[in-house]
Amino acid sequence: MKILIVLFLFIPFIAGLCSFVLKNKRVAEILTFISSIVSLSISAAFLIYLMSERGSAGVISIFNNAVVIDKFSAYIVLLVALIYFLSSMYSISYMKLAVKNESVTDGEFFRYYLLINLFALTMLVAPILNNMALYLIDIELTTITSSFLVITEITEKSIEAAWKYIVVVSSGISLALLGTVLFYLSGNLHGVYGLHVSSLDWTVLSAHSSYLNKDLVKIAFILIVIGLGTKVGLAPMHTWVPDAYSEAPSPVSAMLAASLENVALYGIIRYFNIAGGSTGFNYPETVLVIAGIFSIFVGIMGIINQNSTKRLFAYSSIEQMGIISLGFGLGGVFGTFGALFQMLAHSLSKPIMFYGSGNLLHKYKTKEIKNIKGVIHTMPKTAFLFIAGALTLVGAPPSAAFIGEFLILLESFKKSDYFISALLIILLIAAFIAILAKLNSMIFGVSDGNATIYDVNNVQLKTGDFGTASLAPMAIPLILTICLGLYIPLPLKSFLDGIVRIIIK
Amino acid sequence: MLGLALPIYLNVTIDLLTAFILLSSFVMLSSKWISFYIHAYGIQSFLIFILTLILGIETQSVNLYMVALLTLLVRCLAVPYLLLNMMKKFSIKEEINLSIKIPASIIMGLILTVFGYFLIFRLIHNFAPDIIINSAAIALSLIFIGFFMIISRYTTITHILGLLVIENGIFLFSVILTPTLPLIVELVVLFDILVTVVAMLILSIVMKIKTGSLSTGMLNRLVG
Amino acid sequence: MDSYITSAVFQIFQIITVLAFSPLIAGFINRIEEIIQGKRGPSIFQPYYDLYKLFHKEIIISEDSSFVFRSAPFVSFVSMILITMLIPVLTAYPLPLGFMGDMLGGAFLFSLSSFFINIASLDKGTSYGGLGSSRATVLAILSEPTLILVFVGVALIAKSTLPYVMLNTIISHLPLYFSSSHFLIITAFFLLFLADTDRRPINASTHVEMSMIEEARILDYSGPYLALLKWSGYMKQFLLLVIFLNVLVFPWGLAVNHSPLSLFIAVITLIFKMFIVGIIAALIDTSISRLRFFRYQEYFAAAFVLSVLAIMTFQYKGF
């Protein structure tokens, strides 16, 4: 197992370095793709090991407990690796077209492949680190690598987005660091409880959470939610999200939206577990519910007034993250299970949308919704996948998102929080209508099938899709999410149950 | 330092050092010139270095010696050197764009300091002696003032410096309250500062090349 | 009874010291400034010559002026003498009448003198008088809160507003002397000193009507009246320096017993300390430029911040 983990850490690094040094486009694409496949299979191996009899202890820990993989981390790693795999596949098509359109130079191309691998690496490492502070620093490194990915195409807009991103998130992370110091302090007060917990390890703190000072833990948890919430994109710390997601290349947007947010949310939930063990779960749950509801609201407001495709899906991410934190905040078996499942559903649906927007961007040369018309005529396959993906995103059955959202709703009923249930239903319906209305005008916006369609530069568009590399990354998650909507395999269910037991003990 | 009985002369010294650290952040708030700003940051880091060294000598902890040394190298020498070097290379216009005028921002800093004292007192007065309340409150006000610098100034370098002041505050906070914090954490935080500063410098250079200025006031294209 | 008489004599000697040496300090600072600027400069006894000359000139008073105009020089001069009695100029122990007022009382007397000069300069209705007094009032409005806060800081440290108590507190408890709040108070007070004695960055005492403050207020006076006002101006600077040095910065070297020798030593050390601070003040005065009138608030905001920080840090000092 050790050798697998070390391999796991080195493969993306080597792939990135080689693609940067060798200066061969074909090699860069293939290396990245192979690296992502290897990462995906290794993370699947973790999963299988943890499910199996031998891993019945539920954890893989090496390097003197510096790296600990339990079910929760393995789950997040799997989600990250999955998006890494899809994005590296989609990058082949996206970057090729970008080079062809001369929006990306050769230098920028190789820098992109270096950074996307490093970005994936930093995200893959984050969930398996056992030390809180190291985890935060790793999150900071993801910020740096991804902010340079945002300026893959150097334009004034992308610089602005990257600058906002790095400033807002770095200051957020520093708040989270302060929260971590407070967590450490809360266990380290001599003579208050007699026993003190002098550690920053999640395993140790989680096991001894009842010895922590409650007042400090309360403040520290708020700081953590604000700090990591910036990275997750919880409102009102979401300001960088639409900018960065819309200016980044589409594969990177998908990675930002579908995996980075999960990685950051993973941190919040780890702290949530510790804070719950110390102060009782009522307090951290309330915090997450408030943050969640507010994020859903802000996300939907952003969706309703949106003119740009990628910003639309960025706001949708904010909304989805709100739903997930609401699920964790409602707690209970259903809520937590639903939130975990919604994480998976979101990670499957969101890439479809960003990849689809990438295809539209290359075809129509614009992100403006009002300039994109009649996609069903110009790119029929993309249009089909796009609209089907949107349906799974907004939670139309049968899709994984439907199951996740339904479970969260069920938990709110079970706890008799009817206000929250009503609010959630209204907001979900609003999101459903808003997103589908926007997409409807894009996909079916031309009444006459024979009308000629122009892009933003008034060049007549030829009918036709971009090829397998642009369609497969959309098709694979779509099939997965529909299958999961119809049937949850028993091993996955028991695995998620295991995670629920880790989180709410 | 928490849980440590210090002799009175050390208390007085720490008291003085922390007060001057706070004062240096006010110097930053009241200055209009970037180079002045950077030097004030260097001095602040140097004071923090001395404080850490004193605590290290007092507790005979190798950890703190290492941390102090690295603070000197990274916060006090490397980062100001990088920033000043970049300013020289790109012949950056010296004046800072302010959104809030200097007297108002000084008063704002004062309010933030008082708020820091209030918060820390509420938080830790149960188990901490006065000297720690004082130093921790100053550390917290550094964090607040750093945030205030970021929102009240429109230049990339001042954004970087605001972040650095926040980091200084957190570092001071952790040294004062949890001197037993593992060395690896401090090391990684310092590494992180270096990487972040370099990344932000590269970004601002790109910005300078593309837009011809370092002012972030013009970054208003992305809305909605 | 014997010691009471000695004390009374000492008090009188204290007043004489202030009267006698205040022009010397003013002349010394002027001389140093000129030397720093690369000129030879006037003799350090020039203020004495000025006063002598002015006392032998005739008084010209406008017919429109009221008693206010005539009384202002005396009020100002007497206030300064009263303040002298309140503060430890030469001795570390209180002298007779030393408990008439505390530091706030001293501040009131300074304000009284300033107030009378203000209304006297308004009395004649000339334009420069109005200009000077309005500017001086604005300065007072800006500086007064800080002054009060400095006193609050002192009161916190000494648990009293009497200057003698402050002096003895920081001598007897050295950690207080080295505490941050003490240093911050010193800095805040020094900024106020620079402002109150009409130095840069607040004002250059020029004879250009556009920028003058202090000069404009006494522009209409002549002869002995002007001499009195000038003298009380010198005394004001001297007294502020005394408070700054003997109460805050360096409360050592004052007479602690009733022997004439210690009094003599006290005079020598006081003059020596003042020369040092005078050199510093002259250096500051020549090395920085004048602030625009509408940026004075920044300067006073700095002083205000320092005094508030002094109070804040004192609350939780660790000793």
DSSP C128-168: HHHHHHHHHHHHHHHHHHHHHHHHHHHHHHHSSS-HHHHHH
Range(s) of the domain holding residue C101: 2-315
What is the pLDDT at residue A429? Answer: 92
Mean pLDDT over residues C273-282, rounded? 90
Structure tokens at C174: 């050295």
Contact between residue A154 and residue A69 where contact means Cβ atoms under 8 Å apart: no
Confidence bin at C295 (pLDDT 50/70/90): confident
| pLDDT above 80 for C145 | yes
Report the percentage of chain C scoring pLDDT > 70. 96
Enter the tokens of residue B151. Answer: 């929102």
C178 contacts in B (CB within 8 Å)? 12, 16
CA distance A205 to chain B (A): 14
| DSSP summary character for residue A58 | S
- Compute the distance between CA of residue A109 and CA of residue C37 in angstroms, rounded to an integer: 63
Tell me the pLDDT band of C208, cut-offs 50, 70 and 90. low
Residue C39 burial (10 A CB sphere; 0-12, 13-18, 19+) = exposed
Chains B and A touch, using 3 or more CB pairs below 8 Å: yes
**Per-residue model confidence (pLDDT) at position A195:** 61
> Is any Cβ of chain B less than 8 angstroms from the Cβ of C294?
no
* Domain count within chain C: 1
Round to whole Å and give the CA distance between A328 and A404. Answer: 12
Alpha-helical (H) ranges within chain B are 8-29, 34-59, 62-71, 79-89, 102-124, 130-152, 156-177, 183-211
- The predicted pLDDT at position B50 comes to 93
Least CB-CB distance to B224: which of A137, A167, A311? A311
The segments of chain B whose pLDDT lies below 50 read: none
pLDDT for A115: 92
Chains touching chain C through at least 3 C-beta pairs below 8 angstroms are B
- B5 reaches C (C-beta below 8 A): no
Within 10 angstroms of residue A28's Cβ, the number of other Cβ atoms is 27
Task: Please check the confidence at residue C156 and state whether its pLDDT lies above 90.
Answer: no
Four-point Cα dihedral A296, A298, A303, A309, nearest 10: -100
Closest CB to B113 among C181, C312, C319 = C312
Q: Nearest by CB to A167, from B159, B178, B222: name it.
A: B159
Centroid of chain to Cα C38: 27
Does the ipTM surpass 0.90?
yes
How distant is the Cα of B111 from the closest Cα of chain C, in angstroms?
10
Q: Determine whether the interchain pair C301/B106 forms a contact, defined as Cβ–Cβ distance below 8 Å.
A: yes
Beta-carbon separation of A156 and B195 below 8 A? no
- Under an 8 A CB cutoff, do B20 and C180 touch? yes
Q: pLDDT digit string (tens) for C240-270?
A: 999 899 888 888 888 888 888 888 899 999 9
| pLDDT score, position B144 | 93
The verdict on a CB contact (< 8 Å) between B18 and C180 is: yes
Give yes or no for C180 touching B (CB within 8 A).
yes
Structure-token match 């200051």, residue found: A171
Residues 6+ apart with CB under 8 A from A53: none
CA distance A421 to A406: 10
If residue A424 lies in a helix (H) or strand (E), which one and from where to where?
helix A418-443
Instruction: Please check whether residue B186 is in contact with residue B69, taking contact to mean a CB–CB distance below 8 angstroms.
Output: no
Q: What angle do CA A345, A421, A391 make, to 5 degrees?
A: 35
Question: pLDDT value at position B199?
Answer: 86
Region of A365 please: left (phi>0), alpha (psi -120 to 50) or beta. left
pLDDT averaged per 10 residues, chain A (length 505) = 79 88 87 91 88 70 81 91 92 88 85 92 90 88 91 86 90 89 80 65 84 86 92 88 90 91 92 89 91 92 88 91 92 91 92 90 85 84 90 88 92 90 92 89 73 70 80 91 90 89 84
Please report the residues numbered 287 through 326 in chain A whose beta carbons come closer than 8 angstroms to any beta carbon of chain B: 302, 305-308, 311
Asked if C183's CB is within 8 angstroms of B117's CB, the reply is: no
